[in-house]
Structure 1
Amino acid sequence: MLTINVTLLLAIIVVLRLRRRTEARSRFDEKLTVITVLALGVLIAPTPVGEGILDVLGQLVRGVARANF
């Protein structure tokens, strides 16, 4: 039996969709890409990888906020 990781499949779809030229996209295409990326984010968020990304981004934002003040 073959199992497909949905997160990996969505990541591949996002990469393929983002490789297309921007001028060739319709509004429906853009909306579909946004929905796909949001679904990918929801699937990644509760995983250790997602939590690590959140920690790194949080540290980056705190560093930038300190540098501005």
Structure 2
Amino acid sequence: MLTINVAVLLAIIVVVRLRRRTEARSRNDERLTVVIVLVLGILIAPTELGQGILRVTGQLADGITQASR
């Protein structure tokens, strides 16, 4: 349960950080946002939500690949 709560907190932080104007961000600010998003991905990956996202993304990629043939 703790992992999901931390993931929700990080998701909220990411949304708040990404809503800021691009011009107002420094290079370090952008790096911090990338690190937070990577940690969020690592926390979500082993959960049911993460596995569902992986399945949907895989099906979408298969559909795109088959459509391009």
TM-score (norm 2): 0.92
Runs of 4+ in structure 1 off by over 3 angstroms are none
Identity of aligned residues (%): 67
Q: Within 5 Å, give how 1:23-38 maps onto structure 2.
A: 23-38=23-38
Question: Which residue matches 1:44?
Answer: 44
Task: Say which structure is richer in helix.
Answer: 2
TM-score (norm 1): 0.92
Question: Which residue matches 1:55?
Answer: 55
Structure 2 unaligned blocks of 5 or more: none
Question: Which residue matches 1:7?
Answer: 7
One-letter code aligned to 1:30:
E
Structure 1 unaligned blocks of 5 or more: none
